[in-house]
Chain A
Amino acid sequence: MKRSRLTDYILLLPAFIYVSLFLSFTLFMMISQSFGLFSLLGETEGFTLQYWKSAMIQESFDSFFYSMKIGLVSSTLVVVIAYPIALILNQEIRGARIVGSLIKIPYFINAMVAAFLIINIIAYHGFLNQFLMFLGFIDEPLRMRNDDFGTGVIVIQVWKNIPFALLIITASIAGVSKDVIDAAKDLRAGPVRIFFSIYLPLTISGAVTAHILLFIMIFGDFAIYSVAGPIYPQSLTARMQLIVSNFLQWEEASVLATVLIISVIVVASTLTFISKKYIGIYEKVGYAEIKKD
C-alpha cells in the first residue's frame, strides 16, 4: 500500500515540477532583480532600492494608470454584456446552440488577429466611420484607433473576451437547479424577483471569477495595445518590453513587473471581497422575502 502511494506521488510530479520550477524561477528572478540581486548577466551589486526609485517616474505612473483604466473598464464592460447574453442563451430556444457556437469564435482568434480585424472596422477611413458619415451622424471621421483614451483597445478587448466570460458565466447559470426556479414560479415569483433572489446570488461568484480573470488578462495585455493603443501612455507590459529591448534596463523592468503582479493580486482580492459582501446582502434579501411570504 505504502509503495503504491509513493508511486502515485512520483507520477504526479512531471507537470507539477515543470510548472512550479519555471514559475518560481521566473518570479524569483523578477523580484530579486528589482532589488538589484541575482543579475544573471551583468554584475550583481547587492541589495538596493535604487531601481524602485528610478522606476517611479511619470511615464511609469501613466502606464500603470492606463493599464488599470483599460483593465477595469474593459473587464467590467465584458461582464455586463456577457451576463444577459448568458441568461438568454440559457433559455431553451431553438438555435441557441448554433448562436452559442458562433459567439465563441473570437475566443479562438489570436489577440493580435482580433485587434487587426477590429481596426479594419474602426480605422479613420474604416467601415464604421464611413457608414456613420453616410448616415449623417458625424461630419468627419472619429479617431478610434491609437486615440488617447484607448477606445480602440477597449472595443477590441470586449470583442475578443466576451466568449471567455460567457464560458464561465454560462456554466454558473446552468448550475442553477431547475427545481428551484420551478418552485419559485409555483410560489408566483415574477421574473424580476426570480432574477434578483435566485439567479443573481447563485451566479454572482461565477461572474466575479470571470471579471477577475478578464482583468488579469487585459491588465497584462501587450499585443492589442501594440496594434491599437495610444502612442502615449503605453500599457505596462509594453513599457516593460520597451525598457528591456531598447535600454536593457532589466532592473527597472523587474520593478514594473513586480508592481504588475502585486496590483493583479490586490484587484483580484478586492473584487472577491466585494462580491462576498454582496452575496451576503443578496442572501439576506432573499431570506427576508421568503420570510415575508
Chain B
Amino acid sequence: MQKLKKISIVLFVVFCLIQLLWIGAPVFMAVLWSLVDVDTPWSYPDMFPKKLSFSQWSYAWNHTNLKRAMVTSYTVATLTSFFTLLISLPTSYILGRKKPRGKRFIETVLLLPIVLPGMVIALFVGRIFTSIGLVQSMGGIVLGHILLGIPYMTRLLTSSFESIPQDVLDAAQDLGTGRIRMIFKIYFPMIRLGFIAGTIFVFIKSIEEFNLSFILGLPTYETIPTMLYTYLGYNFHRTYASIISLILTVPNLIILLLIEQKIKTSLTPRSAAGKG
C-alpha cells in the first residue's frame, strides 16, 4: 500500500507538469502573439518574437470593430442574464421546493437546449426569426441567448432551492412570518449564492455564444466571438485573433475560477453520478 502511494505521488507530479505544459503553453503562445510589434514581424525560423510591444493592442482597439463588438456582447449578455433569471426563478422554485409530478421529465426538457447541437438550433431558430422579422435585431439575439441560458440557470437555482432546510421554513411559518418577509428574510439569503452564480454563468455563456450570434446577428450586430471568427477565417490575422481571444477569455476565467466551487457542486449532473 505504501508503495502504491509513492507511485501515485510520482504519477501526480508528472501529471502536474504535463498539465502545466498542456494548459500553459497554448495560453502563453496567445499572449506572445498579441504582443508582436507592428514593425518587426515574427516569422519562421525565429523561435520567439524579436520585439514585444502593445502597439497591436492599441491599433486593434482604435481601428477595428472591437469596441462596438464589445458593447454589443456585453449589452446582450446583461439583458440575457436578467431575463433568464426572471423566467427561471418561478420554475426553479417549484422544481426545488414542491417536487411536482414529472420533475425528472421537466428537468430533462430544460437541459435539451445545451444538449442538442448548437448550430442546428441556431439555423432553424434563425429560419423562424427571419419569417417574423426578428433576425438582425438585438431582441432576436437576446431571445436566442435566453434559450441557452435557461438550462444553466434553472439547474443552479433549483439546487439552491433544494438546499433550504424545510425546518427553517416551518419554524418561520409557525412564528407567523408573512409571505413577503419569508421571501426577503429566508428564501433570498439562502439562494443568494445560486442566484449570483447563475447570473454570472449565464452572462459568460452569453458572451461566449457563437452559433446563435453568428446566424441571428451578422452582419448588423457583431459580437466578440463572431468577430474572432472573421479573424480566424476569411480575414485571418493572428495578432488580432490573439487579442480578441484574450479579451474574450481572461475576464471570464477570473470570475469563473472565483465562483467555480459553487458551480461545480450544482452543475454536475446528478443523474450522471448514479444512473445512466
Contact = CB atoms under 8 A, between A and B. Distances in A.
Contact of A116 (B45, B88, B113, B232): B232
Q: Which of A40, A91, A171, A208 has the most C-beta atoms of chain B within 10 angstroms of its own C-beta?
A: A171
Chain B interface size range: 35 or more
A254 B182 CA distance: 50
A198 B98 CA distance: 36
Given A18-B147, A241-B123, A171 B94 contact: no
A25 to B, nearest CB: 6
B276 A22 contact: no
Given A12-B106, A175-B274, A117 B30 contact: yes
A142 interface: no
B8 A88 contact: yes
A125 B44 contact: yes
B261 to A, nearest CB: 9
Nearest to A111: B210
Overall SS of chain A's interface? helix
Interface in B186-226: 204, 208, 210-211, 225
B71 interface: no
A143 interface: no
B163 interface: no
A222 B271 contact: no
Interface string A1-38: 00000001101111110111011011101100100000
B110 to A, nearest CB: 6
A167 B117 CA distance: 20
A260 B117 contact: yes
Contacts of B66: none
A222 B118 contact: yes
Interface stretch (B19-27, B54-62, B74-82, B166-174): B19-27
B232 to A, nearest CB: 5
Given A172-B273, A216-B115, A260-B120, A104 B229 contact: no
Interface in A24-74: 25-27, 29-30, 33, 40-41
B274 A106 contact: no
Given A11-B93, A13-B91, A113 B100 contact: no
A16 B100 contact: no
Contacts of B123: 240-241, 244, 253, 257
Given A15-B154, A22-B125, A29-B128, A99 B15 contact: yes
17 contacts: A14-B87, A14-B90, A18-B147, A19-B110, A29-B128, A30-B124, A40-B127, A40-B128, A40-B130, A88-B11, A102-B23, A110-B249, A116-B228, A117-B245, A120-B26, A209-B272, A220-B120
Interface of A: 8-9, 11-16, 18-20, 22-23, 25-27, 29-30, 33, 40-41, 85, 88, 91, 93, 95-96, 99, 101-106, 108-113, 115-118, 120-121, 125, 127, 130, 159, 167-168, 171-172, 174-175, 191, 205-206, 208-210, 213, 216-217, 219-220, 222-223, 226-227, 237, 240-241, 244, 250, 253-254, 257, 260-261, 264, 272, 275-276
